[in-house]
Amino acid sequence: MLWVKSFHIIFVTSWFAGLFYLPRVLVNLAMVEPDSTAERERLLLMARKLYRFMMPLMVLALVFGLWLWLGYGISGAWMHAKLALVIVLIGYHHVCGAMIKRFERGENRRSHIWYRWFNEAPVLLLVAIVLLVVVKPF
């Protein structure tokens, strides 16, 4: 069980690193001047590569998490709350991908300030998930 738990933590941590950084790239994309094509293309390339890199990290985090949950019988009301937050996190991940596509098509209508607030969501989700797992409040 400790191997599975270790790999789960490793992949969750790696996935979150991407979830913290990718929205920051979106902030920078939203700040690019319209005539700065090279900067825009460089940031889009970074965003696309990071998003593609994050996908297998997410999948592996979920696989090892499911292994822990189903294979070792981890349960409780706290787990249901955690799973709900993980579903929100998966949605956040995919929304980031959709935002990259909007930037690629030149359809972004949001300001860098909006993206700065959007960037805070994974921090709040991480805090909530860690508290649920460690404290098991219910």
- In the chain, how many domains are there? 1
Whole-angstrom Cα Rg for the chain: 17
Q: What distance in Å separates the CA atoms of residue 57 and residue 76, rounded to the nearest whole number?
A: 26
Does the pTM surpass 0.85? The reply is yes
Domain that holds residue 56: 2-135
Taking alpha carbons only, the member of 88, 84, 82, 73 closest to residue 138 is 82
Per-residue exposure over 104-120, b if at least 16 CB sit within 10 Å of its own CB, e if not: eeeebeeeeeebeebbe
Name the CA dihedral angle for 81, 96, 61, 10, rounded to a multiple of 10 degrees. -110
Are the C-beta atoms of residues 112 and 32 closer than 8 Å to each other? no
- What does the pLDDT look like over 40-95, one tens digit per residue? 999 999 999 999 999 999 999 999 999 999 998 888 999 999 999 999 999 999 99
- What does the pLDDT look like over 93-132, one tens digit per residue? 999 999 999 999 999 999 999 999 999 999 999 999 999 9
Q: What distance in Å separates the CA atoms of residue 81 and residue 11, rounded to the nearest whole number?
A: 20
- What does the pLDDT look like over 19-40, one tens digit per residue? 999 999 999 999 999 899 999 9
